[in-house]
Amino acid sequence: MVRFILQRTLLAIASFIGVTLLIWYFGVSGLVKGGTFHPDFQAHSSYIAWIIDFLHGDWGSLQVQHFMRNGLVLTVVPVLPIIQSFALTTLLLLIPAFILQEVLAFTSGVLTAVRPRSIFDNLVTGISFTLMAAPSFLVGLIAIEYLAILNHWLPGYGLYDYQEIGAIYGSPQFWAFVHQHTLQAFAIFGRHMLLPILALTITTFPPDSQLIRVSMLEVLSQDYIRAARAHGVPQRRIIWQHALRNALLPILTQLGTQVPRLIFTGALIEFVFNLPGIGTFFCTSIFSIPQETPTGSIVQTPRQIGPVIACMMLFVILTILASLLTDITYSVVDPRVREGER
């Protein structure tokens, strides 16, 4: 077991080095400076120097525009504190969406496998393939149109209304309100997050649902399942105790792919719903978005490579850690994986 974990950890470190080398070569070393990204980024000539600075908390910087009376003022601020301030919104979106996604996937996958080729199976499978083909931002826009704008059932914009808290997100007044009125703040956040969580869940659960369905169908056709039925074991016990337990093994291998898919889909959902999260920060750093000044003129926000690289590095770290934890969990559940590594 220790040898297997050591091998997987070394593989994860090698993957991290390989991916970060590509990020440094194409982004940090200055090959894209003067291109589509804003050149105000400190390029390191050495990968070692850059990765050491990154591990010590130097995740780059970005330009922030301030509209003053005497004109537009640009200041350079570090990226890491901004990402840390946006982490709350991203966690409020991804964690509930992941839980609901798996609950919905397991429920629909098992029920369709128990009734193969039935009307219910065909209906769920058809909906799943439709949702897999639909872009997540389109699902979000449809949810905003019908549930927020036309029917006013749920809020469809932002993490909260300014009148509810009376402070800008991330300001000292905002965090003071959260600390002093924690339950009220999270109730406000939860009401505004219901629609984004719903949109993210229904766009990410179909692949898992189909995978569980296929795995359950394969297990239910095994000889030991037929023997259990012949011995009079109740159908519910066969499904939930015998079949599902063995069907979970192939599904565990896919959990590592859930993190990158959930992160990137969540980034689009954050951007569509204008949530102050890491995904919105990543998208607005890529695109050049016009902003209106207090005088009515339009200023084009420059594309900036610093936040893009910092967010990509965060995504890489989370993806590699998720894959490593998946491998370790799978080896604990199925000892044959450890035996195969010897």
Q: What is the pLDDT of residues 102-111, one digit of tens each?
A: 899 888 988 8
Examine the domain organization and report whether 133 and 188 are in the same domain: yes
Q: Is residue 87 part of a domain?
A: no
Q: What is the pLDDT of residues 34-74, one digit of tens each?
A: 444 444 444 455 788 888 888 888 888 777 666 556 666 66
Q: Is residue 325 part of a domain?
A: yes
* Dihedral sign, Cα of residue 246, residue 202, residue 206, residue 337: negative
Examine the domain organization and report whether 58 and 100 are in the same domain: no
Domain end marker among 264, 292, 308 = 264
Give the span between the Cα atoms of 111 and 105, in whole angstroms. 10
Give the span between the Cα atoms of 30 and 310, in whole angstroms. 15
Q: Is residue 232 part of a domain?
A: yes
| 89, 270 Cβ separation under 8 angstroms | yes
Domain end marker among 212, 241, 264 = 264
Examine the domain organization and report whether 122 and 211 are in the same domain: yes
Examine the domain organization and report whether 72 and 98 are in the same domain: no
Q: Is residue 214 part of a domain?
A: yes
Residues 6+ apart with CB under 8 A from 77: 61, 62, 64
The pLDDT value recorded for residue 201 is 92
Residue 211 CB coordination number (10 Å): 17
Q: Is residue 59 part of a domain?
A: yes
Number of domains in the chain: 2
Examine the domain organization and report whether 259 and 293 are in the same domain: no
Average pLDDT for runs of 10 along the chain of length 342? 82 92 77 43 67 86 67 75 88 91 89 88 91 88 88 83 80 86 87 91 89 88 85 83 77 76 89 89 74 46 75 90 83 63 53
Residues 6+ apart with CB under 8 A from 232: none
Give the span between the Cα atoms of 99 and 115, in whole angstroms. 25
Examine the domain organization and report whether 251 and 191 are in the same domain: yes
Examine the domain organization and report whether 99 and 8 are in the same domain: no
Distance of alpha carbon 267 from its chain centroid, rounded? 7
The pLDDT value recorded for residue 336 is 61
Give the span between the Cα atoms of 105 and 121, in whole angstroms. 13
Examine the domain organization and report whether 53 and 159 are in the same domain: no
Q: Is residue 199 part of a domain?
A: yes
Show the 3-state SS of the chain.
Answer: CHHHHHHHHHHHHHHHHHHHHHHHHHHHCCCCECCCEECCCCCCCCHHHHHHHHHCCCCCEEEEEEEECCEEEEEEEECHHHHHHHHHHHHHHHHHHHHHHHHHHHHHHHHHHHCCCCHHHHHHHHHHHHHHHCCHHHHHHHHHHHHHHHCCCCCCCCCCCHHHHCCCCCCHHHHHHHHHCHHHHHHHHHHHHHHHHHHHHHHHHHHHHHHHHHHHHHHHCCHHHHHHHHCCCCHHHHHHHHHHHHHHHHHHCCHHHHHHHHHHHHHHHHHHCCCCCHHHHHHHHHCCCEEECCCCCEEECCCEHHHHHHHHHHHHHHHHHHHHHHHHHHHHHCHHHHHHHC
Query: CB-based burial of residue 325 (10 Å sphere; 0-12 exposed, 13-18 middle, 19+ buried)?
Result: middle
Q: Is residue 85 part of a domain?
A: no
Examine the domain organization and report whether 171 and 284 are in the same domain: no
Examine the domain organization and report whether 34 and 162 are in the same domain: no
Q: Is residue 86 part of a domain?
A: no
- Domain span at residue 310 reads 2-80+273-341
Examine the domain organization and report whether 227 and 191 are in the same domain: yes
Domain end marker among 264, 284, 318 = 264
**How many C-alpha atoms does 283 have within 13 Å on its Cβ side?**
19
Examine the domain organization and report whether 293 and 326 are in the same domain: yes
